[in-house]
Amino acid sequence: MTVLPRALDAEKVRADFPILDRTVRDGRRLVYLDSGATSQKPRQVLDAEREFYQRHNAAVHRGAHQLAEEATDAYEGARATIAAFIGAPPGEVVFTKNTTEGINLVAYAFSNAATAGPGFERFVLGPGDEVVVTEMEHHGNLVPWQELCRRTGATLRWFPLTDEGRLDLSGMDELLNERTKVVAVAHQSNVLGTVNPVRRIAERAHRFGAVVVADAAQSVPHLPVDVTELGADFLAFSGHKMLGPTGIGVLWGRAELLAAMPPFITGGSMIGVVHMDHTTWAEPPQRFEAGVPMAAQAVGLAAAVDYLTALGMDAVAAHEHELTCYALERLAGIDGVRVVGPLDAEARGSAVSFVVDGIHPHDVGQVLDDQGIAVRVGHHCAWPLHRRFAAVATTRATFYVYNTRADVDALAEGIGQAQRFFGTG
């Protein structure tokens, strides 16, 4: 007997999101299908942030008075909550402003290591070394590695994609080899929805001692993620995509790697001892959190994690899976619509990107917007991926805990409306 996950009651969830009550474009119901860009926030998250500011606000780790103690407790408590959410010890969780900063933090460690002195040799990178990404990466997990290669003389290589929108692993044995020092891969694609076999890639990469970075911006919000099971060495994600505030993200890293990693942003609160002519570093995670941190946002993100935990991440994933299946089915039923990405919902999240014959995505998006349906159009910060599929741009719908089958219906009808308007349907 298998235990079914608790079902998610999207109508009940919706009541927690004040913005979903508003109308757009002269009285249309808001159909928000752009959670892949950023999610909406429940009242509980906004309340937690406000409560922090109104009761406990102070600079964390910097004061000896009661407010400072409370603020520090709130901030470190948030770290513990978020760490538990991904199955990690709190000391392995570094707060960043977003996924992008987290990935840059790791990338800069590899170039800073050259001059960082003893203890940081593990991260030194140079000509002859290889950094491997994939052709489906978000710019946030591509450009930092291009730049790292530029700074160090290392070579960037990448996994190609299959026509279906999966990683083509057929060349993996050649691609990952003794020269490989870093492998950076999206856990879930923000365009194709594809969930990548991070563990399989990590197993091979680890044979050569390479460091494996998973871009989890689109997975941690949508799937149960356990860092031990995933098998990567670093994991980066953003609060704003998982019901949390803007301005906060997380970098998880294995303790032994964090300890061997030179700092990125330097300044207050990340130091050991400071002299005019030399400075030593604090232990992780403080080493990577220079300056007064985003305490209120950490507290807000912990509230978001509590909210998701109460729903159950299995239930969240199952809910999205159902909407994805339904969306793929409805879109398959419309002539002239081509989905870019896997057509079946196995190992696939809820990003559904598509092109409509004869109508540019901007125009599709405009007609949808006119009906209150918020989607994203363009290359979604994955320009090489779009080139690979010979699309200048796509229209993308993404689903989350507050979306319903009615939202999928609205999308399908909206596409029909666009086809009628432009005379192609």
Partner 1 sequence: MKLEAMYQEIILDHYRNPHHKGLREPYDTEVHHINPTCGDEVRLRVKLDGAGGDARVVDVSYDSLGCSISQASASVATDLLIGRTVDEGMRIAAEFTALMQSKGEGEPDEDVLEDAVAFAGVSRYPARIKCALLSWMAWKDATAQTLSADPNASMEERVS
Ligand X SMILES: Cc1ncc(COP(=O)(O)O)c(C=O)c1O
Q: In the set 383, 404, 409, 416, which binds partner 1 (CB under 8 A)?
A: 383
Residue (of 353, 357, 366) closest to 334 by Cα position: 357
292: contact with partner 1 by CB under 8 A: no
**Per DSSP, which regions of 108-154 are E strands?**
130-134
Count of all residues that appear for the chain in the document? 425
Q: Which residue reads 């159909």 in tokens?
A: 31
63/291 with CB nearer ligand X: 291
67: contact with a second copy by CB under 8 A: yes
Per CB under 8 A, which of residues 266..305 are in contact with a second copy? 266-269, 271, 273-279, 290-297
- Centroid of chain to Cα 181: 23
Rounded CA gap, 323 and 389, in Å?
A: 24
Which of these segments, 4-12, 121-129, 142-150, 166-174, binds a second copy (CB under 8 A)? 142-150
Measure Cα distances from 114 to 104, 110, 266, 286, 338 in Å: 16, 8, 16, 22, 48
Rounded CA gap, 213 and 209, in Å?
A: 13
Tokens of 4: 């079914």
361: contact with partner 1 by CB under 8 A: yes
The entry of partner 1, ligand X, a second copy, none near residue 32 (CB within 5 to 8 angstroms by kind) is: a second copy
Residue 184: helix, strand or coil by DSSP?
strand
Q: In the set 153, 209, 268, 272, which binds ligand X (CB under 6 A)?
A: 268
String of contacts with ligand X for each residue 132-171, x by CB under 6 A: ------x-xx------------------------------
- Residue pair 385/191 in contact (Cβ under 8 Å)? The answer is yes
Residue 117: helix, strand or coil by DSSP?
coil
421: contact with partner 1 by CB under 8 A: yes
144: contact with a second copy by CB under 8 A: yes
322: contact with partner 1 by CB under 8 A: no
Which of these segments, 30-38, 168-176, 195-203, 321-329, binds a second copy (CB under 8 A)? 30-38
153: contact with partner 1 by CB under 8 A: no
We find the least distance from the C-beta atom of residue 415 to a second copy, in angstroms, to be 15
C-alpha triplet 98, 99, 101: angle, nearest 5°: 70
137/233 with CB nearer ligand X: 137
Catalytic residue among 381, 382, 408, 412: 381
59: contact with partner 1 by CB under 8 A: no
72: contact with ligand X by CB under 6 A: no
170: contact with partner 1 by CB under 8 A: no
Rounded CA gap, 324 and 347, in Å?
A: 11
**Helix intervals (H) in 293-404:** 295-311, 313-332, 361-370, 383-388
211/385 with CB nearer partner 1: 385
80/156 with CB nearer a second copy: 156
The entry of a second copy, partner 1, ligand X, none near residue 215 (CB within 5 to 8 angstroms by kind) is: ligand X
Per CB under 8 A, which of residues 371..400 are in contact with a second copy? 373-378, 381, 383-384, 387
Judged by CB under 6 A, the number of residues near ligand X is 16
Residue 177: helix, strand or coil by DSSP?
coil
390: contact with partner 1 by CB under 8 A: no
For 148, residues 6+ apart whose C-beta sits below 8 A from its C-beta are 107, 108, 110, 111, 125, 131, 154, 182
Distance from the first to the final alpha carbon of the chain:
47
Q: In the set 370, 374, 409, 416, which binds partner 1 (CB under 8 A)?
A: 370
Sheet with 155-159: list strands edge to edge: 93-96, 249-253, 234-238, 211-215, 180-186, 130-134, 155-159
We find the least distance from the C-beta atom of residue 413 to ligand X, in angstroms, to be 27
Q: One-letter amino acid identity for 168?
A: D
Rounded CA gap, 32 and 17, in Å?
A: 11
Which of these segments, 234-242, 313-321, 379-387, 405-413, binds partner 1 (CB under 8 A)? 379-387
273: contact with partner 1 by CB under 8 A: yes
String of contacts with a second copy for each residue 177-206, x by CB under 8 A: ------------------------------
Residue (of 213, 220, 263) closest to 238 by Cα position: 220
Q: Tell me the Cα Rg of the chain.
A: 22
Active site residue 325: no
| Active site residue ranges | 381
Query: What residues make contact with ligand X under the rule CB under 6 A?
Result: 98-100, 138, 140-141, 186, 190, 215, 217-218, 238, 268, 291-292, 381
